[in-house]
């Protein structure tokens, strides 16, 4: 074997090793980016709890600027009409009752969309929402109990108001996003037990979770799950009007609106408007 041939083979072998190392390094780099590891992720105290999901496979549903606020305002107006019909007129207006069935899926979508944001867990969104929903839900509870006492054939305290339904949804998505078998089993147990205590029961939770799955990745299969979850509300509503919320939020989400974000207003409005209805009931609807 000549010296030239030996040197050539040694050079080819070194090039092959270098190429393999570079390829492995690229693969490791892609895995670190996808899993949220690496130096930048280590600075985020919550990132290492998140499940490993490749960024290229995460395709969240997008909304036009201001459209989410428009949906919240529309749902708020419908909610007021629905509660006036419920607590002051004992659901005498059937058309208002039917429109009111759209409210819960609309608010559920708003919560689900925010929870589905790729950086929601890292920014502590779940914890902030749990804090706000707990405060507003507790503030509304005594008012709800008094209002429900005026309704025929209704329990005063059960189910817990809608804010606790949304609170359960946020808690479940938090546990699922953190990942791990134990947290998933805890979420399942919480769904089964707490779902029996909140407004719209398990069906309302399923509606919100379906929207959450769809917002995380807008695929046909997840849209179908969202539809089925919303359709399950028929058990509570005795009609299918809740399904009307889906085309409303999907179409409205494509129309830009010039609306500023009002965070605490919507949390505070819920107990405040119920208190106003209670005062009206006590003064003008004593019979």
User: Residue 53's pLDDT is what?
Assistant: 36
pLDDT tens per residue across span 41-68: 323 333 333 343 333 455 889 999 999 9
pLDDT tens per residue across span 198-255: 999 999 999 999 999 999 999 999 999 999 999 999 999 999 999 999 999 999 999 9
Question: Rounded mean pLDDT of the chain?
Answer: 84
With cut-offs at 50, 70 and 90, classify the pLDDT of residue 284. Answer: confident
pLDDT tens per residue across span 113-136: 999 998 999 999 999 999 999 999
User: Residue 23's pLDDT is what?
Assistant: 42
Please check the confidence at residue 2 and state whether its pLDDT lies above 80. no
Q: Which residue has the higher pLDDT, 231 or 5?
A: 231
Contact 172, 205 (CB under 8 A): yes
Please check the confidence at residue 161 and state whether its pLDDT lies above 80. yes
Task: Give the chain's radius of gyration (CA, Å).
Answer: 25
CA–CA dist 121, 133 (Å, integer): 17
pLDDT tens per residue across span 54-110: 334 558 899 999 999 999 999 999 999 999 999 999 999 999 999 999 999 999 999
With cut-offs at 50, 70 and 90, classify the pLDDT of residue 194. Answer: very high
Which residues lie across from 160 on neighbouring strands?
A: 198
User: Residue 57's pLDDT is what?
Assistant: 54
């Amino acid at each position: 074997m000549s010296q030239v041939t030996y040197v050539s083979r040694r050079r080819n072998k070194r090039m092959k090793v270098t190429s393999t190392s570079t390829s492995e390094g690229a693969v490791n780099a892609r895995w670190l980016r996808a899993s949220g590891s690496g130096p930048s992720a280590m600075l985020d105290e919550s990132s290492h709890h998140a499940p490993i999901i490749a960024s290229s496979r995460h395709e969240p549903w997008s909304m036009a600027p201001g459209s989410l606020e428009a949906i919240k305002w529309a749902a708020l107006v419908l909610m007021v009409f629905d509660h006036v019909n419920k607590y002051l007129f004992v659901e005498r207006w059937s058309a208002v009752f039917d429109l009111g069935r759209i409210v819960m899926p609309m608010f559920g979508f708003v919560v689900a969309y925010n929870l589905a944001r790729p950086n929601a867990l890292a920014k502590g969104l779940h914890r902030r929402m749990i804090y706000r929903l707990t405060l507003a839900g507790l503030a509304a509870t005594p008012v709800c109990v008094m209002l429900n006492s005026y309704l025929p054939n209704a329990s005063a305290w059960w189910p817990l108001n809608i804010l606790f339904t949304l609170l359960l949804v946020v808690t479940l998505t938090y546990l699922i996003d953190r990942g791990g078998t134990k947290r998933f089993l805890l979420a399942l147990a919480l769904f089964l037990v707490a779902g029996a205590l909140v407004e719209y029961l398990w069906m309302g939770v399923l509606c919100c979770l379906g929207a959450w799955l769809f917002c995380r990745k807008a695929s046909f299969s997840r849209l179908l799950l969202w539809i089925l979850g919303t359709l399950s509300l028929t058990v509570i509503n005795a009609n299918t009007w809740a399904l009307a919320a889906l085309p409303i939020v999907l179409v409205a989400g494509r129309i830009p609106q010039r609306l500023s974000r009002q965070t605490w207003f919507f949390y505070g409005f819920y107990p405040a408007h119920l208190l106003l209805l209670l005062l009206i009931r006590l003064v003008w609807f004593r019979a």
